[in-house]
Chains A and B, each alone.
Chain A
């Protein structure tokens, strides 16, 4: 289990549940979120949106809007076309509209923007803009979109004759086919993961401020990746005179990101353009309905999976084919070589000798996206598939699902493990985590209880999910976004009085970096975490980084922090040797000080050394005590865990009640246990929500269903069970302090645990699979069909 921390609580290094340094401003109502920002002369922007999913724009009449006192301008696609800003690249090198000049391609698409002196006038202006549309045939079914003769949506792409975006495959197609053909048992299942939306409590927004005199653009933006945004703005708007050294992106306090604040939304670009043209700050903050209906979604994967096994349950092969509905543009923020993200982790925690996966991306008349929901680049989809298939197989073999997993887990002594789809898993102890979870929940007793209840016609189920995650993108050999490699960075400076400032290329949206990064420095240098000021998010000062998403911060920027601190320690050692008049080899390090071997009373603290770095450094050495590290991870990290969920089903209403949920997670060495538990609690809740409640869907005319909190159902404290969490610790062998990422593990692992539990409750009736969200009506229909409804 967790080992004793090496540093004292006063220093607060790894392993201490240091209370969060960022909390005071949030507790006192002094956070600085984008909508809190008010600049002199600031204007407000609001957006006119299309009621149609696919329509030609016949006419936009802004005249009534312009008559409203306070309304200054109405910006259309024609306006932006003059600056060639009406289209922009997506992060996957597709293109999407900023504002349309010819047609709209999804309901709620941006059509025009109203600029006004206050937000009430802007709202009135939006209502007064008149737009005439000529509806076009709508395509919402990706399978229909692929049929010959389907309307071609991307008429803007010359020579485009279909709605295909990409085909991606990995693994051994023929080998897997024959492995399955030769298996004793093959199970097949179609699995659909519907569209969902991450819905952070803070929506997206920007204040764009172009200073005409200095020629400098400052942008306050809800963004998880400020540097990438700065470079994108420079590339996209370079031709209108914006130059990267004169662009400053500030990501202030962010009210939740979860991937939804990575993409570049049209509203941001329009606000920037408006500010440049008008020469005043322009604020745009979207409504919740705009957020749900137009911002990047997640999932929408139509999966067909086949898994083979021997009679005794040994898995022989896995074949997965997926149709990926991306909306009208591929605006997912995947690493460029991975259009289906890290979906190829789908062989999961098991020794899978043969595997093949292919994903075909398709255009439809829906908002573009879509990996924005705490998914680690499609790992939620991959894990849902493998964990559901494992239970489908267990049911077919009449084997206990825990036994089937234990039989097939990659053994703890076979790491690093090369998967059939090309990943080298760094470390794992899957059986350890599952056994711990089974103990904690009392698995054997629950199975007994289930058997008793079945005799009385009561429905209870136990579901397991033993997931392997893949995070920390990523090694420069394979990982880039729009060509920018996915390293991350830390710039660490120790001041004369022994305090430090550390800046990083990532950007916390609630993950607690101001505390955990300080703890990393504290661990390496012995400077108390309370004395390390962590900064992120201002591109004028922070070193270049790719931002925070896909659980990459600890694996990349955290590592950079440790390495930078070690570089500082190396220099500190030289100064210590000089001050103590010994050779470096004669020095021994303990957190916070160097002392002479065999003469521990002769020592210098890191504070002494810091002071000396500016006042008494050896001749020939540069003054100062600082270092920068750009960390290129040698591999990804593979956190894992086992979750067990117990459900009871109401035979009258079909409601599913989660009675207990035990989560055993392993993210390697833990910086702050309190913060890790917080991430797990939140992640489990965001795993339960898609499993039982959340869905964004479209009728055949492309009208969105679930476009407000009335119908897009976020769990309250009443629907959310009291999560039970525990850990195992299996360090990453390649990470500087053995840590792995953890922010998304629970969102990845929880949905299949819940789905498996519900199916398990009904498996004796012959039920094999239910697609999420598992609504009461879905369950009730099954109960009725099987004749067991109340």
Chain B
């Protein structure tokens, strides 16, 4: 319940924060919402001699569309994402996702950037960002660079961020007309990590066939999984029940879940299939409104 001692820094600017991370190296961790980091520290799993709190740096919380890109500041609270009219109307998959992260109280502190940067395949945003084909902006000593989301997750609790970089922005391409997305999560109770969850973002062509399908899975392996074969399969096809069913089967084949109290490998894999089918059906239904 009580963390080990650490030093705490409250930089007022991004460059000050990056400086601190450079200086303290692996011994420093970024404190954003703290809803993943602090629970770990309280159980004394994982350690940090230095916490660099980016909570006072202005200009890191925003949700805005610029041209045909949705830009989300790295420190945007999940609750803001959940409430945003823009997100609910144009990026419902994101609203779906934000609404099932932990519980409403945790969402008041937890940040989108933190949810991604933690590198936990059990977190919900990674799969959604994979399905959307997002990219993240990492700010470090050499300035800002963009990292495509497909290259962002590199291992269990590992991302492409270097230890002196901060995830400052997430960029999502605005979906074209006839697009829809959904995130469906199976959890044992509200607040739990996913037993299985699927993100699906589809765009239909003029004739009603799928022109793009991004399908990704949460908590189905050591990293969040982009089900490429499933997405590929749907391209050019009408998204009827049979096609969706086959895509869902392909997605579940991409899963390599670990057994735990949430379920056995077999159950989790089958749930990846069931939920992918449901997410696809919902995403397709939403293309009608778009």
Contact = CB atoms under 8 A, between A and B. Distances in A.
Chains A and B in contact, CB within 8 Å: yes
Interface of A: 119-120, 123-124, 127, 287-288, 652-653, 655, 693, 705-706, 710-711, 713-716, 718-719, 775-777, 780-781, 784, 789-790
Interface stretch (B62-70, B82-90, B263-271): B263-271
Interface string B248-290: 0000000000000101100100110011001000000000000
Given A705-B261, A706-B261, A711-B261, A123 B191 contact: no
B192 interface: yes
Contacts of A655: 186
A288 B42 CA distance: 12
Given A124-B4, A127-B4, A287-B1, A719 B189 contact: yes
5 contacts: A123-B1, A711-B261, A718-B189, A719-B190, A775-B188
A471 B1 CA distance: 38
Given A287-B1, A777-B264, A127 B274 contact: no
A287 B1 CA distance: 7
Contact of B274 (A652, A713, A714): A652
Nearest to A780: B267
Contacts, number: 51
B74 to A, nearest CB: 26
B44 interface: yes
Interface in B1-45: 1-2, 4-5, 44
Contacts of B264: 777
Nearest to A717: B190
B190 A716 contact: yes
Interface in B89-116: 103
Contacts of B4: 124, 127
Interface in B190-204: 190-192, 195
Which has the most chain B C-beta neighbours within 10 Å: A287, A653, A790?
A653
A693 B189 contact: yes
Contacts of A790: 274
Nearest to A775: B188
A495 to B, nearest CB: 46
Given A124-B4, A287-B1, A776-B263, 13 more contacts: A123-B1, A124-B2, A124-B5, A652-B278, A653-B186, A655-B186, A713-B192, A716-B190, A716-B191, A776-B188, A777-B267, A789-B270, A790-B274
A784 B273 CA distance: 14
A713 B264 CA distance: 18
A776 to B, nearest CB: 8
A119 B103 CA distance: 29
A420 to B, nearest CB: 41
B271 A653 contact: yes
- Which DSSP category, helix, strand, loop or mixed, fits chain B's interface? loop
Query: Which bucket holds chain B's interface residue count?
Result: 20 to 34
Contacts of B191: 716
B44 A127 contact: yes
Nearest to B261: A711
A655 B274 CA distance: 13
B274 A693 contact: no
Contacts of B192: 710, 713
Given A120-B2, A705-B261, A716 B271 contact: no
A653 to B, nearest CB: 6
Nearest to A123: B2
A719 B192 CA distance: 12
B88 to A, nearest CB: 20
B82 to A, nearest CB: 15
A718 B188 contact: no
B2 A119 contact: yes
A210 B167 CA distance: 55
Given A120-B2, A124-B4, A777 B190 contact: no
Contacts of B44: 127
Nearest to A655: B186
Contact of B189 (A652, A706, A713, A780): A713
Contacts of A776: 186, 188, 195, 263
A705 B278 CA distance: 31
A222 to B, nearest CB: 17
A665 B4 CA distance: 51
Interface string B164-198: 00000000000000000000001011111001000
A776 B2 CA distance: 35
B190 A718 contact: yes
Contacts of A711: 261
Contacts of A710: 192
A652 B44 CA distance: 39
A705 B259 CA distance: 13
A124 B186 CA distance: 38
A715 B274 contact: no
A212 to B, nearest CB: 30
A45 to B, nearest CB: 14
Nearest to A695: B261
Q: Which 9 A-B pairs have the closest CB atoms?
A: A123-B2, A652-B274, A718-B190, A777-B267, A287-B1, A716-B190, A777-B263, A711-B261, A713-B189
A780 B270 contact: yes
A776 B191 CA distance: 17
Nearest to A127: B44
Nearest to A46: B2
Interface in B217-269: 261, 263-264, 267
Nearest to B39: A710
Contacts of B274: 652-653, 790
A716 B267 contact: no
A781 B2 CA distance: 41
Contacts of B267: 777, 780-781
A287 B5 CA distance: 19
Contacts of A781: 267
B2 A715 contact: no
Contacts of B195: 776
A124 B44 CA distance: 10
Contacts of A653: 186, 271, 274-275
Nearest to A705: B261
Nearest to A653: B186
Contact of A713 (B103, B188, B270, B271): B188
B223 to A, nearest CB: 21
B205 to A, nearest CB: 29
Contacts of B270: 780, 784, 789
Nearest to B271: A653
A384 B190 CA distance: 27
A277 to B, nearest CB: 25
A124 B2 CA distance: 8
